[in-house]
Structure 1
């Protein structure tokens, strides 16, 4: 019997191993990609005791006065990349109050967009109508993947993501899972919808999208998915960035907007019945093949008639016939004498 205290310690250790800790993308190193609107950034390492940072236009001579300077009056561990201050000043920011000047961060406007992708045709079909059986997926194009880099954000935890994708049905219900086939079939899988993608490169493609079977049937034969318009949307909240933005922000995006796709019922054309190859007639080498309907097959079988084979006889040789006639005549002559 394991003592209760030892068991409790064991369970706690397992929880620490199996349950990922919360990611911290706030701490950055020198020259890290940073996005307008991020909050609570820890700039302690790149500022290295400096209180002033400066910006020059790309390609300009930094020996002259900078075009923009920002003084950190508070704690460098909780820096806000305020859109009102930093909008229009993308690029590298440097320490400036004490030489040498070193990179603090590289500033970007956040960009994120989602499109619905035709896997077979390899093209954007957002807003279009396609058959229920079409192979589709979602695609995300963004520059925010640069925040998921160990070398620039050393406290990054790969178990977490700041992206959220939502898929809704024609009725407005959120779809948390997808089916790869009919319910109850041995080959059918139930897959979680890729709602929190870990995007470390762009574009990002939902890999299980083509496995989604919208013609799947329930165990009672009814359709799992109805035809109609489905909607995708992606949002991101890197370091609580969403609270810095509104719907008319011109300095970046935190939401892709609703992206619709309309599925219409497939049209199935019945295939003709294919009969097995027939045995080739004697003297031929090619098999007889063909396509006929079941009705034609029954007609051909019912009209078949068996014709009896006529019996034939081979005539006797002439010599045997003459001997037979002679014997018969001799028998008649003897009978008359007696």
Structure 2
């Protein structure tokens, strides 16, 4: 057996998903459906299923039915955004072989936010579709910048260096957003509320605008699953097995950046979903990305939908944006990941 074949065979055995994986995916999908139902019926005012069915049929007459009609696109946006961030986090962790990788921690979401804020403040952008393109460009530029900074010095792009580079970049970008917004009183309130990260403004129009971008991002990421499995073996082994490492990394990262940028354009920066979800899903399905990515999509959708429901319940009759709820959940989880033994490459 060759030097490359031995570790490849060993890793292939280690990456076989546990038995019952399809059942776990089905169960997780059932949890998502239950959370979506709760999201439609629970809020500052609970509604009956009769009003839900009336709203779904297109008959919106009373206050409760109007509330349902608004909650339906909000729920769909939370599920779509959560799925996108979950998959993007899993792909980023696979591309960088960094268990701390996350669109928020690496500053990608904040880069998309700065690009949108700059477009509004300096170039007068008003088109929602333009926001998406600008956000994707900002996310991509930030991802390249953080990876370049984290790769400098001895040892290359280690998890600790990438996390520090991402944290420093996020802080700098957040300050830049404030510098852009503060002198502009006409846009300060709207950008500030959007910057927290939330799905309360979700509409069918906003979902329709980002849906093509999300579809492209999901497709690229899912097609990159085999590459991500090979990259986990190490660059030398992956190259020895016929993988063009640079192309594999660039293509996979492109899919994740598209998902992050499109999501941030419509919801604002939402952190920690891409960190928490892949780690939890690995406990269920292992490290095979052919299963990990679908699990991360469903798990991310479930987490963000649950966060939206919790945010509406704990502060009745007001609400807490999902960006705050996910930060409260993800912050302690991030500390746990850092302190667990030692931070290791995937």
For normalisation by structure 2, the TM-score amounts to 0.21
Q: Which has the larger radius of gyration?
A: 1
For normalisation by structure 1, the TM-score amounts to 0.22
